[in-house]
Chain A
């Protein structure tokens, strides 16, 4: 029974890679890429759960007995479209942040020394010139 759980473990490894890219690396676009990797591996988890080894794709045809479970497929179709919507909105916000603050780097954007928004944008524009 243990040998049939390898799929889940590898998918969880992928999820944690995406999570690490999301919370560790410095650039906002890299974080959104990490978020997308996380989302795609969650989809893989659900599709693995709905998979039947001898089953075919859930399209009814006369000489097939066993079909894969269609319900996770429906759920993941919705989730894929929602993920592209989220990615588009996140990237639009990143563009806006770049226009407003001059930088999308995590270290520059974090308010570690208590800067206000005005001082931060002045500082990044001065440092880029």
Chain B
């Protein structure tokens, strides 16, 4: 029990730091090593740590799987939307020069938007993978005997 308390207190201290570090890696990916993928994995690791320390129910209340599905899809949409915005402004797909009046500022805006999309999708997918793999039982998977026999009957007929 005492180990549990130590872990929880240290976790409460460290998890916000990990989230801030993920955001730092995300926004400084243009000036040093980093970028969307690394930041997404670190953010996912923070949420996984929370789930490990405080249990499945608390983690689901904090970040629910429905929200994760939505976030992953929004990330891909953001990326594709930036590309389509290039087409709508009389450029090509994923051309950032036309997004703003100055091409260099347009490149900056385009890169920020797509890295944000990458962060959303990667963090949501990594956290959802950990939720799914860490589920306690396989009761929700169907009965194997019934499944196998029905499938083989269908194959034979």
Contacts and interface: CB of A to CB of B under 8 A. Distances in A.
Interface centre among B132, B138, B148, B151 (most CB of A within 10 A): B148
B151 A117 contact: yes
A121 B142 CA distance: 14
B129 interface: yes
Interface stretch (A1-9, A20-28, A36-44, A98-106): A98-106
27 contacts: A57-B33, A59-B31, A81-B37, A88-B133, A91-B133, A92-B132, A92-B133, A95-B133, A95-B138, A99-B138, A99-B141, A100-B144, A100-B147, A101-B144, A101-B148, A102-B144, A116-B152, A117-B148, A117-B151, A117-B152, A118-B145, A118-B148, A118-B149, A118-B152, A120-B148, A121-B144, A122-B145
Nearest to A116: B152
Contacts of B31: 59
Given A59-B32, A116-B152, A77 B141 contact: no
A interface residue count range (under 10 / 10 to 19 / 20 to 34 / 35 or more): 20 to 34
**Which secondary structure dominates where chain B touches chain A?**
helix
Interface string A71-86: 0000001000100000
A88 B129 contact: yes
Nearest to B150: A118
Interface in A16-52: none
B122 interface: yes
Interface in B10-44: 31-33, 37
A96 B141 contact: yes
A121 B148 contact: yes
Contacts of A77: 37
A16 B147 CA distance: 38
Contacts of B148: 100-101, 117-118, 120-121
Contacts of A57: 33
